[in-house]
Amino acid sequence: MPVLHHFSEDPTITRFEPHVPATNPTHRPGVWAIDDEHAPVYWFPRDCPRVSAWPRTTEETERFRLAWTTTAHRVHAIEHAWFDRVATTTVYRYDLPTDPFARLPEAWGQWFAEVAVEPVAVVRLPHLVGLHIDAGIELRLVPSLWPLRDLAVSDEWDFSIVRMQNAEPRSR
């Protein structure tokens, strides 16, 4: 089983209690975690809208690089208005015990527990832009996420779209 994490701007969490997410009120209560491979999609302030994409296999890499015009192994994008927050926010990575979690089959990299979970460690991440640079992730600043959101939604590569309700409205 992989190492699991939760990311938060709050450095004082001592216990994660099961809850129903506000964005999905029909979901059963739980605690969510993310594995190492997918953790970079959470190297942002919580409410920051973002689009991320990456090839899953060697076969997908060439199509990914052509479509995204990049040599990076991953692309993350945020809107211009969020850059200062990303550049100045400290996020905390909570390392979690793996025993209570089961993989969510509908979401690669995400894990779910129906019981309260206490973290085993907390790691301060004060330089979110630097994390992207060190990991070789292309961090794009764009006026609108919508064109990249439309490109990301594909079966040709993996993707993550987070907090689009906080993005600038789609232009007509």
Q: What are the pLDDT digits (tens) for 27-59?
A: 999 999 999 999 999 999 999 999 999 999 999
Q: What are the pLDDT digits (tens) for 64-122?
A: 999 999 999 999 999 999 999 999 999 999 999 999 999 998 888 999 999 999 999 99
Please state the domain count of the chain. Answer: 1
Sheet arrangement for strand 31-35: 102-103, 110-113, 31-35, 4-8, 91-96, 121-125
Question: Is the distance from CB of 160 to CB of 42 less than 8 angstroms?
Answer: no
Q: Is residue 137 part of a domain?
A: yes
Q: Is residue 70 part of a domain?
A: yes
Among residues 4, 2, 1, the alpha carbon closest in space to that of 96 is found at 4
**pTM for this entry:** 0.93
Q: Is residue 57 part of a domain?
A: yes
State the residue range of the domain holding 10.
4-20+28-166
